[in-house]
Structure 1
Amino acid sequence: MSSSGEDRLLVERRGPVLVLTLNRPDVRNAIDKPLADAIAAALDEFDADDGLSVGIIAGAGKGFCAGMDLKAFGETGERPWSGDRGFAGIVRRSSDKPLIAAVEGFAVAGGFEIALACDLIVAARGTKLGVPEVKRGLVAAGGALRRLPRILPAAFATELALTGELTTADRLHELGAISRLTEPGGALDGALELAAAIAANGPLALRATKTILRDQWSWDDADFWARQEERVGPVMASDDAREGARAFTEKRPPEWQGR
């Protein structure tokens, strides 16, 4: 395991899976500028490493993340944005590969927005989540106001945003916003199990599928097929695609080369 951002972020490679752990438990893993920069740098390396297929973001200690470091913001006006990746080095541009949030205890304000910037959320039962920014005279500007209405019933998403009240992982799982529920203390193991199922698939196909799912919201119907083909065409022409077909007919596991 390595660390970055003065040990604010722990980076661990587990085969094709990269685990990033927010490591400021004494301040509920609040995001300051050095941590945001460390996350952005880790995602840059993740995207560039052909040996990695899936990423997991977790939090050290009792919870996932409480959002922006309000002490740093109140004292110096520091905003923990990092380049074009935005708040926490992730919410405006995450990664081109699948990301899973492993959430324990709480994910509130910007912490919830980090989880929402991931493709899938695995959370422990009883975990508290929400965007309470309005209670502090702030706005949930890290993507929640865009992403919540896409994954939740409109009335419930609006209520969460306007009241600032928290909800539970159990409720969000019922509504389809959380992929898997675990018992308390089991979110990372659940995320690793899900990551293993994803990482078993073709890496080129995973990246293309992820980017289509992410980018298609800005495409109209006429654009969709052409833009999808831009991503699918190279995959269909790849050695991996032929290997997948051969492995199926030969009834054996595929041996991916990433090309």
Structure 2
Amino acid sequence: MSAATTDQQADQPAGPELKVTERGRVLVMTMDRPASRNAMSLQMAQEIADALDLLDSRDDLSVGVITGANQTFCAGMDLKGFARGERPVIEGRGFAGLVQKPPTKPLIAAVEGYALAGGFEIVLSCDLVVASTAAKFGLPEVKRGLTAAAGGLLRLQRRIPYHLAMELVLTGAMWPATAAAEVHLVNRLAEPGSALEVALQLADEIAANAPLALAASKQVLVRSQDWELEEMFERQHEFVNPIRTSADAKEGALAFVEKRDPVWTGR
């Protein structure tokens, strides 16, 4: 192969590293870098950020599902890219285009294989988790002289008991999904190879409900964790009051009276 041919191939744009598909009101995002076990690159982080913007901007989409191709979720940051000085961080959204600013709408992680380091931090950024019984989680950063700075140290102790979170962080140990399910970090366990299928079933169950109410309910649950008791009822009004006057609220009541399924518009 000539040098000219090599240069021409280098100039060609790389293919997408995230597969984005729609399934009714559900947006499915599949990380697809099989040669690196879906390790996070800057390109894939940008594609995830773009997909989340799409999810939040579309009235006809209610729920997102993020998963990994080839029977693995994500092995964390692409260390080869890191060695070249590349950081898969998107301004305003953080690592993977997700962890600092998750979408307004519900997001489900469908986990097969390994969700390690940044991959586990992506899972912790999601609102619900479906995992294969063979899946494994872990924050092994301390074994590499690093820290889990993409939300792992911030979120894990809010999801599971403090001492268990401390042990997992300080040892960097692998954690089976079956054990994670015992402390309710995992919502639903699935047979190996069927995590996405089960996640889509959960997504469909959620997407059958009013999209504006879903997004508002998520925001109150997420934001109210540090609200003072004296102010929490007042602060929730910003999110819940607009729902009462929405077209979907009227449609929900009318559908109940007419004994039919509601037709949501997201307005």
**TM score, norm. by length of structure 1:** 0.96
- Higher mean C-alpha displacement, 64-73 vs 212-221: 212-221
Aligned to 2:256: 248
Q: Is the 8 A contact 1:5 1:35 kept in 2?
A: no
Selected match of 2:228 from 187, 195, 220: 220
Aligned to 2:240: 232
Greater Cα radius of gyration, structure 1 or 2: 2
1:13 aligns with 2:30: no
Deviation at 1:158, TM superposition (A): 0.5
Aligned to 2:4: none
Instruction: State the distance in 2 between where 1:177 and 1:86 align.
Output: 22
Q: What is the percent sequence identity of the aligned residues?
A: 54
**Match for 2:24: what amino acid?**
G
Selected match of 2:59 from 15, 25, 50: 50
Selected match of 1:123 from 110, 119, 131: 131
Moved over 4 A (4+): none
Q: How does 1:40-189 map to 2 (within 5 A)?
A: 40-74=49-83, 76-189=84-197
**Match for 2:110: what amino acid?**
A
Instruction: State the distance in 2 between where 1:193 and 1:59 align.
Output: 17
Unpaired segments ≥5 residues, structure 1:
none
Q: Is the 8 A contact 1:103 1:123 kept in 2?
A: yes
Deviation at 1:5, TM superposition (A): 7.0
Deviation at 1:196, TM superposition (A): 0.2
**Match for 1:11: what amino acid?**
V
- Could you say what the CA RMSD is over the residues aligned between the two structures, in angstroms? 1.2
Q: Is the 8 A contact 1:103 1:127 kept in 2?
A: yes
Instruction: State the distance in 2 between where 1:239 and 1:42 align.
Output: 26
Instruction: State the distance in 2 between where 1:11 and 1:148 align.
Output: 28
1:36 aligns with 2:57: no
**TM score, norm. by length of structure 2:** 0.93
